[in-house]
Amino acid sequence: VVADTSGRHDTLCGTSTLVRNTGRYGDGTPQSASPAGSELFKLAAAKNGLGPRDLPPSLSFFQGVEIRDDGSPDFTGSAGPGAAVTLRAEQDVTVLIANVPHPADPRPAYTSTPLEVLAWRARATAAGDPLWEATPEGRRAFLNTAEFLATRGLA
């Protein structure tokens, strides 16, 4: 994440499931009016030659969750219209997107708002780039990625 005007994200709760959406909205299959995020991810994975075991945990952008003192999640709501997140990847990636309500969203109706996704290629970074030296963790990540790509003949 190199830019974020939202500040509302969740890396803990995951996405909605078929069972939960069926119980809450009457259906959770991908073609329904209330598709579950897990089902959409499995469908998107299959379209890319991947199976359910290939799916990592999901994260939710634009929907916030904080953890209360007692350890329970507290849904803090949507970032609202116009919020943006910019992601940077130094190698080819497959991004699967499911624009669905957050599983902790208390609204009784299935509520999903429009999402605009833009992707573009930028110049690759290299040693000496200010991004490589911004933090020790970042430098290590850039070096690991460069080594990974070089050993596979991709860089």
Question: Using CA atoms, how far apart are residues 19 and 148, in angstroms rounded to an integer?
Answer: 39
Per-residue pLDDT of the chain (155 residues; tens, 9 = 90+): 889 999 999 999 999 999 999 999 999 999 999 999 999 999 999 999 999 999 999 999 999 999 999 999 999 999 999 999 999 898 889 999 999 999 999 999 999 999 999 999 888 888 888 989 999 998 999 999 999 999 999 87
Question: Side-chain half-sphere of 10: how many Cα atoms within 13 Å?
Answer: 25
Instruction: Spell out the domain ranges in the chain.
Output: 3-121, 123-155
Q: Tokens at residue 74, please?
A: 């507290």
Question: Using CA atoms, how far apart are residues 95 and 47, in angstroms rounded to an integer?
Answer: 12
What is the DSSP secondary structure assignment for residue 118, as one 8-state letter? -
Do the strands 60-61 and 9-10 form a parallel or antiparallel pair, or are they unpaired? antiparallel
Note the pLDDT of residue 19.
97
What is the DSSP secondary structure assignment for residue 55, as one 8-state letter? P
Note the pLDDT of residue 155.
78
Note the pLDDT of residue 139.
92
Q: Tokens at residue 127, please?
A: 């040693």
Residue 15 near residue 41, CB atoms below 8 Å? yes
Note the pLDDT of residue 52.
94
Q: Which residues contact 76 (CB under 8 A, 6 or more apart)?
A: 8, 64, 65, 66
Note the pLDDT of residue 42.
97
